[in-house]
Structures are given as C-alpha cells and as structure tokens.
Amino acid sequence: MEGTLRRVDLIGANGVGKSTLYSHLVEDRHGRRPRWLTMREAKTKLVTRRLFAKLSPKNLAKAVTGHLPLVGNIFVDSYCRREAERAFATESLGYQQFFERCLSQFHNQKPGRASSCLSLVWLFSRLAEIALLEDLDETVLFDESLSHKVVTLLADSKMLEEGRPIDPYLEAMPPPVAAIHLRASEELIMRRLTERNRRRGGPIARHITLDRRGLRRSTRRTRKISELLAKSLQSRGGEVINLDANEPPEFNVELVQRFLARL
C-alpha cells in the first residue's frame, strides 16, 4: 500500500450527540487546519485518483462528470467487492485474524438476534471501507467508530460491568490514530433520546423493541463501552480528546479542530 491512512474515530454512547457534532465539523470547513477529509471526500478522492490512473476516455469522462462508483456516502457493491478483495488479500494489513476473531465471537453468542446480524454486516462493510482507504495518505474523520461497534457487538455484559480491559477485542483490528470522545451523563443522554424519538414520531430502528427500561440499559452499556474504549486506545498509544456534550457544538468544534491540527 502506498498510503498511510490516519483514521480518526468519533466515539460516544448512542444518543450523546455524535451526529450533531460531526455535522458541525463538516460545515466548519474554514477551520480545517491542517486539512482533513470526511468519509465522502476521502472516497471521492480515492476513486477519482484511480480513474485518472487509467487514462481511458471512459474513465476520464466519469471523473470529470462526477459519475463515480459512489451512491451517497457508500461505494457501489461491485466496486467495493472487487477492491475490498484486493485490499484484504494484502497480508501486511492483517485483516484475516480480525475476521476470524469476530466470526468466532459472534458464533458463540445467542442466535436469532436480528440486530446482531445487522451489526455484523455493518462491521464488515465498514472494515472494507477502511481497507480501501488505506491507499490514501490523508487524515479521515469517520462518523462512526469501527472500534466501538466491535466492542458493542462482541463484548459480554459481565465483562463491561466488571470494567475488565477490552483490549482482547481490539488487538486484532486496525486501530485509529486518534479518537474524539463525546461524553455525557446517563440522564442527559436519556433526555436527548426521548426528545429525538418525540421529534421523529418514534424510536430509531435499533431501539424500536426497547421500553424505557431497556433503553436505559442500552444507554448504560454503550456509555460504558465508549469510556473503556477511550482508555484502551490511549493505552495503545492513540490520541484521545474528551469532550463534554453539555457544551454547545460550536465550542466543541473549535476544540476538535485544534486537536486534529496536532496529529
């Protein structure tokens, strides 16, 4: 691989305000010092560069007119499948060990949970994106954390309650160079989730089967995971900035821009 992808993950409990913060960061383009890319920008740069690398009239037309193998923020299936297979075949990236560990842990869980199956699909699709973007020598801010999803999917509740290290779930995966950790109290997150559900006219898909008690358990779990993940990433040499979700997004955006400038 020619590139040296510098992945920055945004972590925090479900409902803490990660999407809001990410949206404000994307809008604050003048604050990018030095330059970093969103997922969409990184993917566009990658596929455009590869099209120009093969100087055929067809590829040039696609690059110039913007007809790229992207639908929204997602690689089209044919492109992703072809390029991901090439990337995963690169032994130096060490993805095979990660695949085997995830599948082994998932196999040991209780069957029949649709949410777990969907999470596993998301997990591997996000890993495919990371593998493809390894070609870029860029800092890329990911709106969702692969690390957080791995631990959410695979870690058992007893381990989280006891606060045991989560490193065994992370050591086989490609780590981010840094993480932005958005923190809030359990009560604040519950209030935000309740308000979001009211505005939407109902809960999001992964919360649709939860009553308020179940929603609180889910909030407590994802909040604990984000705390353990931040500590684990720091212990492995990663840079982590902790942000207070009580602060206005504009305030946290300035802190994040300064943080990214130091990487």
Q: What is each CA distance from 189 to 198, 206, 239, in whole angstroms?
A: 14, 16, 25
Give per-residue pLDDT as tens, 17-73. 998 999 999 888 666 666 788 888 888 787 777 666 665 555 555 554 555 555 555
Q: Could you tell me where the DSSP H helices lie in the chain?
A: 18-27, 39-53, 57-65, 77-88, 95-107, 114-133, 146-154, 157-162, 167-170, 186-200, 212-235, 249-262
Q: Give the best-scoring range by mean pLDDT among 5-19, 79-93, 156-170.
A: 5-19
Q: Report pLDDT for 1.
A: 41
Q: What is each CA distance from 42 to 37, 48, 59, 167, in whole angstroms?
A: 6, 10, 18, 28
- From the list 149, 128, 124, 166, the residue with the least C-alpha distance to 206 is 149
Asked if residue 1 is part of any domain, the answer here is no
State the chain's mean pLDDT as an integer: 76
Is the pLDDT score of 164 beyond 70? no
Q: Report pLDDT for 243.
A: 97
Asked if residue 58 is part of any domain, the answer here is yes
Q: Report pLDDT for 181.
A: 96
Is the pLDDT score of 179 beyond 90? yes
Q: Is 11 helix (H, G, I), strand (E, B) or coil?
A: strand
Mean pLDDT along residues 171-175: 69
Mean pLDDT along residues 159-167: 66
Is the pLDDT score of 78 beyond 70? no
Residue 148: CATH number of its domain: 3.40.50.300
Q: What percent of the chain has pLDDT over 90?
A: 19
Is the pLDDT score of 171 beyond 60? yes
Q: Report pLDDT for 255.
A: 94
User: What CA–CA distance (Å, rounded) separates 86 from 84?
Assistant: 5
Q: Report pLDDT for 167.
A: 67
- How many domains are there within the chain? 1
Asked if residue 52 is part of any domain, the answer here is yes
Residue in the structure block whose two tokens are 């923190």: 183
Residue span of the structural domain in which 183 resides: 6-262
Q: Is 84 helix (H, G, I), strand (E, B) or coil?
A: helix
Give per-residue pLDDT as tens, 93-131. 566 666 676 667 666 655 556 666 666 677 777 777 777
Give per-residue pLDDT as tens, 218-227. 888 889 889 9
Q: Could you tell me where the DSSP H helices lie in 54-113?
A: 57-65, 77-88, 95-107
